[in-house]
Structure 1
Amino acid sequence: MQQGTDPLVIDVDAELEATINEMESLHKEIAELDGANLMVDCQRSVVDSITSQFGILGVVANSQDGGNVTTEHNFKKGITANEQDQQRYDNYRDMNNGGFTSEVRRQKGYEAPKNAYRDKHVGDRKYVKDGYTGKRLHTDKTPVDVEHIVSAHEFESRADTNLFLSPQERVDLASSDDNLTPISFSANRSKGSKAFEPWAEQQRTDNGKTNAEHFGVNAELARAKDKKSRAEIEKAVRRGALKKYGKELLATGASDAAKTGYKTATGILMQRSASAIFNAFKRALKEGKNLSLRRKLALFKRYASEAFEQIKKDWKEIVDSSFEAGISAFLSNLLVFAINYFKTLFKKAVAIIRAGFQSLVKAVRLLMSPPEGMSKRDARYEAAKVFTAGVITASSLLLSESIAKLLQATPLIGPFFAIPTGEDSVIGDMVADALSLIIGGLASTVAVYFIDQIKNSTRKSELQIQLMAQGGVVINLKSIQSWQSLDNAYHHLFTTVGEMREDLSEKQQSIEKSKKQTDDAVTGFAAAVENFGKFD
């Protein structure tokens, strides 16, 4: 009797094999977690800091107080991003320190348009409407003057008009029909360069009246003119600010992006080339230890050539990294501008933001779009590592000033580090930035190592629990296998005994049949003998 294959046995065997394979995989993962080497990571970090930070150094070296674009907030403090804005600030400062004389007023071009307005709107007329009182002025009896509703001095002494409008734009705006109006000579001299509201409300010393009361000012009419004029000024300033900020942010951001992208690509190529040469040299020495120097050099050349061929194949990855670094530099320029719009960032703060922003972008990208096959939990860990490393590396730039001073104070080589490389920088500054980034790279490597250790410790605990659970599964599956074997043996014995009983029964029936046949034969023989006797 043939027994068929039991599906239950197949399922148990397959599950047991899968469980054992999973346990082997868990053991292997634990071994890999235990294999972290801090010293190797630190050695790699030094090389990476020298090479892959090449792009960061290019941007950091060009950092300046207030960033690349002069904001109005910084302009008021005299912090400017370029020579043109510095000239604008010099004018702003001079005009607020008594520099706006009648001669300067004439030189800047405010008098000619005012005289042209007088000729057009006053001329030889006998009567002229006063722009502040609304009354008619008899020109023969009352001297008439042309008033800048918003004074020329205010145009020259405001931070926003100096920063966002050119000298000619200020003159044109101040000399527009909306900002000029005929008033009495005495009122014009009384008002001078003051704004309308403070002048109108100012109390006079001769009669105790306000200027508005003394000169019969129609407050509603005058305020409407002042409001309209100022609205036009604000519109022009906003338009000028948008144009200036947009143009300069685009130009400086594109420049930073191009420089950072190029230097990042250069740094990656330097890092990979150095690694390729080192690995080729180490491999040639190891595999050719019993060979001649010539053969060793041939091996080195072959391995180095293979490595460089691989670098060529990775050009897309290098371009992607370069592009990402460029985008990060562009965005960091916007961030620095946004902060400086409200609060001044000095050179080191600007450098730290620029150096750390790329890590922030990478961390956010990991969180938003983890690589295929990476869990959200692992993505959070990797993002934390990238961000932590970036913050530490960027913050290490705070050490660069102290390092630069130390280098310049070093006997014999100090003068070398004091050689200028730009308007406000020396060789020592560049070397100090590089050394501080190396220190930051080492510190970030240690920090990342301990983050990995925390993660690995948690993961190892989970793996140990899984191993224990899988061990229980194995025991249960082994028990099931044992019971299945006993069950199969019982069924086999039962089947065999049954077959033996059937065979014995058949043989017993055969014997009984043979016995009956024998009995019948004996009976027949006896009857034949008896009949034979009767015959005699």
Structure 2
Amino acid sequence: MSSRAERFRRRKNMVENNKAKPLGYGVVDQERVNELLNQDVDQAKLIRYQYSTELAFPIEADSAEVNRLLSELQSSFHKQRLDDVLGSLKKEVIASIAGPFGLGKILSAYDKAGGNVDTIHNAREGVYATDDARRRYDDRGEYDSSAYHGHSEYIAKNRQDTKSQDNGTLRDSYTGKPLAQNKKRNLDHTISAKEVHEDAGRVLAEVDGPTAANSKSNLNPTSEHINNTSAKGALTTNEFLAKLERQAPERKARIEELSAKPELSAKESRELERFREHEAVDVDRMRQIDQAAREEYDAKINKKYYTSKKFASNTIKTGVDEGAKMGAQQAIGLLLVEFLSNSFIEIKQSFNQGLEGETLMHDIRIRLERIGRKCASKWKDMIEGFSGGFISGFISNLVTTLVNVFITTSKRFVRMIREGVFSLLKALKLILLPPPNMSFLESMHEATKLFAAGGIVIAGVALEEVVEKFVLSVPALAPIATLVTSVLVGSLTAISMTLISYLIDKTDLLGVIKIEQSKFVLNSLDESIENRLKRCEELVAIQ
């Protein structure tokens, strides 16, 4: 279509050329004039030339007519958009059933609770991604107290504390009070040696137990009455403090009872001393010591494992596997959508137009060949879909692994992450690398739809479990529960995605639809003016 400036020049040239033409013509043959006058009027030709006997034409713009025309064009724009939305709904339903709730559900059978990479958090929860890691924990061996209490660091710290106690400078770590020279004391593993030995995170990181247990922050001198097996022993700090709190009423009553006696036996004296030391435990101080010990312990284990080649290689390997799975889902999904969409078209045409071949089998072969050619023509889209799926699968595996460093994800949550990352990457790609003919506002508007669609897919995955349980409760549907669930949830998801897309368009927060409407109106007017100008040029050429 020519530009407005070019059309203006064409109109000017037409006017100038017509000015040069004579208004009258020379005398013609009278016989031919009579012949013309005696002929019937060609009404069709008059209509084609838009003939009018009215010589005066108004050139002023009628505001009512302008508003009517603009209203018609705007209504046409919205009708066209609604038709496009309804027209795409069928394909969206097919895509949802074949994609996240078809192939995605099949591939999700290989998902694991806790993801594909072992993490320290998951190991401590008893959740393993690999049999090798689980087997190594099962083969950790029995707890050997002598290996922990005979460690060189333990012996050296004990020797140092003995000197400090003899000098009168040693304090009880958990009460803050001085330890008398004749006081029986223990060197306590704040995180008990047994707990360290049984720690699945330590085993996964392949950290030596005695070395980890005998770090400086974890060795704390305290009274024997606090550390003996009837008190703290192998309990964690929280367990020990909870025990002290439970026993507090009885302990305080016993202290008062023994303190009131004028004379105590040796056994009662030891009992009173033990209860007083238990009463003297500084809860906040003990918790701080425990926190410092655990932070240092966990930091060593985390650093050893998460910076290891084993963790990196497992993350990359499983990322590639997940990428291949997601890429296959997208590529095969696109192929299935194209195949099913074209199959519906061919079936509809066969009913409306009849058979194309001589026989039914010949007709089917013709239509299948045509469907095959159309599917094959989408090879670039399938390659792009596979590459996009591969990247999102790799990143979703990485995200899942990072999440499982802190919490253990369920199998369904792993699938939610995968579908969510895919939608997020599509939206980011549209924002950062928009098509050449798309403005920034338009790309943001379309990206908003992708974000919303991703949220709906995630909600659909969550809803799937509820729907599947309901379908399984119906005996007649139980054998095909997976298929029924995929169709129901896929259809509901597609309809929801279409509706939310339409609502985003109607809301038009960024004003993109208003801009598109203005473009549509201008293009429609340009097309109408262009057609009228061509018609005028044809009429001028006939004269």
**Counterpart for residue 514 of structure 1:** none
Cα displacement (A) at 1:246: 3.8
Structure 1: which amino acid aligns with 2:305?
Answer: G
Structure 2 distance, partners of 1:355, 1:318, is 18
The percentage of aligned residue pairs carrying the same residue is 20
Name the CA distance, whole Å, in 2 between partners of 1:350 and 1:271.
25
The answer to whether the aligner puts 1:368 opposite 2:432 as a matched pair is yes
Q: Deviations over 1:317-369 (max 9, x none)?
A: 31221121122122223333444544565554443333232111101110111
| One-letter amino acid matched to 1:171 | G
What is the count of residue pairs matched by the alignment?
Answer: 412
Judged with a 3 Å threshold, the aligned counterparts in structure 2 of structure 1 residues 457 and 195 are, in CA distance, closer, same or farther, namely closer
Q: Which amino acid aligns with 1:253?
A: G
Tell me: CA distance 1:61–1:344, structure 2 relative to 1, closer, same or farther (3 Å): same
Contact 1:59 1:354 in 2 (8 A): no
The answer to whether 1:443 aligns with 2:496 is: yes
Instruction: Assess, with a 3 A threshold, how the Cα gap between structure 1 residues 437 and 132 changes in structure 2: closer, same or farther.
Output: farther
User: After superposition, where does 1:308-457 map in structure 2 within 5 Å?
Assistant: 308-342=372-406, 345-414=409-478, 416=479, 428=481, 431-433=484-486, 435-452=488-505
Match of residue 133, structure 1, among 143, 151, 162: 162
Superposition deviation, residue 117 in structure 1 = 6.2
1:263 equivalent to 2:304? Answer no
| Counterpart residue number, 2:92 | 45
Work out which of the residue numbers 234, 240, 243 in structure 1 matches 2:305.
Answer: 240
Answering whether residue 146 of structure 2 is matched by residue 111 of structure 1, we say: yes
CA separation of 1:227/1:241 partners in 2, compared to 1, >3 Å: closer, same or farther? same
* Distance apart, 1:155 and its partner CA: 0.9
Deviation digits for residues 8-34 of structure 1, max 9, x if unmatched? x998434789xxxxx99x999985653
Preserved contact between residue 284 and residue 300 of structure 1 (Cα < 8 Å): no
Q: 1:57 to 1:188 in 2, by over 3 A?
A: same
Q: Distance in 1 between matches of 2:275 and 2:6?
A: 112
Q: CA deviation at 1:386?
A: 1.9
Partner amino acid for 2:143?
K
Contact 1:150 1:230 survives alignment (8 Å) = no
Which is worse superposed, 247-256 or 44-53?
247-256
- After superposition, the CA RMSD in angstroms is 5.6
SS in 2 for 1:397: helix
Q: Which residue of 1 aligns with 2:21?
A: none
1:5 is matched with which residue? none
Distance 2:124 2:323 in 1: 29
TM-score, normalised with respect to structure 2: 0.57
Conserved? CA contact 1:110–1:171, under 8 Å: no
1:156 equivalent in alignment to 2:185:
no
Distance of 2:222 and 2:451 partners within structure 1: 68
CA separation in 1, counterparts of 2:397 and 2:122? 16
Equivalent position of 1:173 in the other structure? 211
- Paired residue secondary structure (2:89): helix
Q: 1:254 and 2:320 equivalent?
A: yes
Per-residue deviation at 1:135? 6.7
Contact in 2 for aligned 1:150/1:179 (Cα 8 Å): no
> 1:458 maps to what in 2?
514
Deviations 1:450-477 (A, max 9, x none): 4345568624652487489979x99xx9
Return the alpha-carbon distance in structure 2 between the equivalents of residues 167 and 393 of structure 1.
Answer: 37
Q: Give yes or no for contact 1:69–1:249 (8 Å, CA) kept in 2.
A: yes
What is the CA distance between 1:388 and its match in structure 2? 1.8
Query: Do the aligned residues in 2 keep the contact of 1:58 with 1:263 (CA within 8 Å)?
Result: no
Q: What does 1:210-249 correspond to in 2, within 5 Å? A: 234-243=299-308, 246-249=312-315
CA contact (8 A) 1:254 1:330 kept: yes
Q: How far apart are 1:395 and its partner, in Å?
A: 0.9
Out of 172-181 and 395-404, give the one that drifted further.
Answer: 172-181
Which stretches in structure 1 are left out of the alignment for 5+ residues? Answer: 1-8, 18-22, 92-103, 123-127, 214-223, 418-427, 478-536
User: Which amino acid letter does the alignment assign opposite residue 456 of structure 2?
Assistant: I
Match of 2:173 in 1: none
The corresponding residue for 2:39 is none
Q: Which residue number in structure 2 is paired with residue 206 of structure 1?
A: 273
Corresponding residue for residue 57 of structure 1: 105
* Residues 112 and 341 of structure 1, relative CA distance in 2, 3 Å threshold: closer
Alpha-carbon distance in structure 1 between the residues aligned to 2:159 and 2:345? 89
C-alpha separation in 2, matches of 1:382 and 1:338: 29
Structure 2: tracts of 5 or more residues without a match: 14-65, 167-182, 245-250, 252-270, 281-288, 534-543
Look up the match of 2:541: none
Q: Which amino acid aligns with 1:13?
A: R
In 2, the alpha carbon distance for the partners of 1:229 and 1:292 equals 78
